[in-house]
Chains A and B, each alone.
Chain A
Amino acid sequence: MIGLIASAFPVGDWQFWVATVLALGALVYLLRKVVPVVLPKRKKQRSRATLTVEGRAVDRKT
């Protein structure tokens, strides 16, 4: 079995791993083009904040 894998995939050759990582990177890039399109965007959680200066709320009209 290991022999079969070794003959089908040159696992001992560092170039194979570099090429495989590059191909995986290309695949991830392609999936990212498609998957954000397929998955719905999560609604941003809105948070409210009150502007304060030295612990006191700011009067926006001044």
Chain B
Amino acid sequence: MSDCCQGGMANEACAAACCALSELRVGEGGAVTAEAVAEADLAALRARGLGPKVSVVVRRRGSPCIVEVRRANGPACRIGMTKALARRVMVEPTVSASSLA
């Protein structure tokens, strides 16, 4: 698990289990939590595929933060976002994608 969760986030529901997308390292992934994408500002991201329970894998940290999004068994698509936005997307980290190889 990445070291992001030691920092503590404002969202209490995700206190121990969630991280901001911006905190994940390259290759690490997770499932987007429902609370993160409830805000109206993130509706556009959700429409592009970054919705609840969607698995994401970070491909680039920083700005832009590039994530690979995979819905159901469909193909992966890449979404880029600024770091400010990546800080607001909460994910439940899973095992890093690179370690599965």
In-complex A–B contact (CB below 8 Å): no
B residues touching A (Cβ–Cβ < 8 Å)?
A: none
A residues touching B (Cβ–Cβ < 8 Å)?
A: none
